[in-house]
Amino acid sequence: MVKAILWDVDGTLLDFLAAEKAAVQRLFGEFGLGTCTDGMVARYSAINDAYWKRLERGEIPKQEVLLGRFRDFFSELGIDPRLSEPFNARYQLALGDTVIYRDDSLSLVKSLHGRVRQYVVSNGTVVAQTKKLSRSGLGAWMEGVFLSEQLGAEKPNMAFFEKVFTALPDIDKADMLIVGDSLTSDMQGGIAAGIPTCWYNPGRLPRPAAMAITYEIQDLNQVPDLL
């Protein structure tokens, strides 16, 4: 019986790519950098994803992710890489300005309130996630928020999940369910931590045969059926 859902935010409850695109393109205007085309956003997104994967593997600290992605992106475009720091500072706030729910996630989270305890588990920055959860209204329905920046460890690191377990001593691992879109942070982290996993896979990507994922869904509204 599932007593607690551990929700990922970016790419799961909220459409991260839409927020990313809106933030980057708007900030290009604010910083007087000209037009940021969809192709340029796609290139930034690829660089960003590669940096986060390195963080998940424990190869680099988060600050290197936040600044390195823009440093590399700007260097490719011939933009002064020294803009990385001020650009990233504005970007963290701008990410929360565009709220697009995946599968009407706010209604889903509301409907589950009182039926199961719900928590956020995210590698996003405190600044960005705090604003997103507030503006989206999702935060009001969560019983707790676990952010890697505050816990001192990132998903899928076991240290992240140990902090969650310590904070929720009355809930057995077997009665938790982590729901997320990332194989490398959410699913791999959940499996290593010994809790049931639910892979949100709306794009119907191939499921890794070697990864013992408990459930796979294409729509978040399938989650209640798993409880």
Name which of 198, 221, 206 is nearest 102 in CA terms. 221
Would you list the DSSP string of 66-92?
HHHHHHHHHHHHT--GGGHHHHHHHHH
Tokens of 155: 């998903």
Active site residue 186: no
Rounded to an integer, what distance in angstroms lies between the CA atom of residue 31 and that of residue 132?
23
Question: At a CB cut-off of 8 Å and minimum separation 6, what does 158 contact?
Answer: 189, 192, 193
What backbone phi and psi angles, to 5 degrees, belong to 194? 80, 30
Catalytic residue among 8, 10, 72, 186: 8
* Contact status, residue 171 vs residue 181, Cβ threshold 8 Å: no
* Contact status, residue 106 vs residue 112, Cβ threshold 8 Å: no
Active-site residue numbers?
Answer: 8
